[in-house]
Amino acid sequence: MTAVTIIDYGMCNLDSVARAVEECGGNPTVTDKHSVIESADSIILPGVGAFPDAMKNIQERGLEDVLRKRVVDDGVPFLGICLGMQLLASKGYEVSECKGLGWIEGEIVKLEPKGEDTRIPHIGWDEVHYPKPSKLFEGIPEGKDFYFVHSFHFVPKNEEAIIGYTKYADGGVSALQKGNIHAVQFHPEKSQKVGFALLRNFLSL
């Protein structure tokens, strides 16, 4: 059973992610303890909320260095979900300009309406399309719907990192991968069968 460390930095929905990991056969631990993160087999960074608050919480708990060491240096499988994806960017513009973790180069900007009646936030089910195959989406047919709820989106500097597209308003990137670092804008823990398939793929990395 894969031991999954879910990072608690005071930004909610930890229970949902932990329960979904359990249902997918993983063994979740929700924690902000450095000692646990130090020995993590795989790490999930969930998150709902505003970018600056999230970065502040991560810094106050001294999590930035230990996460960087485990994920960037040691190469432990990592999944960022929603805000947990956005925090990987170099910079965010939610509420105020704010530096991110900078693991995947890019910026977090507000979705702007495009086309007729595209409402922001982007709330609901939307299709994920693949520019190339990836382990994370293995076995999940192209164009399946995942659950989204967000007002900001990730604009990566390098298109190579994109493994999932979901066009909505002026946004388009729904999943990124850079080596062991994976990130999704949607909520796999709330996306029922396809979401669980994705989490199982992550657990088997």
Q: Does 192 bind another protein (CB under 8 A)?
A: yes
Instruction: Count CA within 13 A, CB hemisphere, residue 140.
Output: 30
Which residue of the set 82, 94, 98, 153 is catalytic? 82
- The pair of structure tokens assigned to 26 is 């993983």
Do 28 and 14 contact (CB within 8 A), yes or no? no
Q: Indicate the pairing of strand 3-7 with strand 42-45.
A: parallel
Question: For another protein, which is the closer residue by CB, 23 or 65?
Answer: 23
Q: Which stretch binds another protein (CB under 8 A): 13-21, 35-43, 65-73, 134-142?
A: 13-21
Q: Interior CA angle at 171 toward 90 and 183, to 5°?
A: 50
How does DSSP assign 160-197, residue by residue?
GGEEEEEEETTEEEEEEEETTEEEESS-GGGSHHHHHH
Interface of this chain with another protein, residues 45 to 84, rule: CB under 8 A = 48-50, 53, 83
* 153 carries an active-site annotation: no
Rounded to a whole number of angstroms, the minimum distance from the CB of residue 69 to another protein is 27
Query: What residue ranges bind another protein (CB under 8 A)?
Result: 12-16, 19-20, 23, 48-50, 53, 83, 94-95, 113, 117-121, 123-127, 129, 145, 147, 149-151, 166-168, 187, 189-190, 192-193, 195-196
- Cite the active site residues: 82, 187, 189
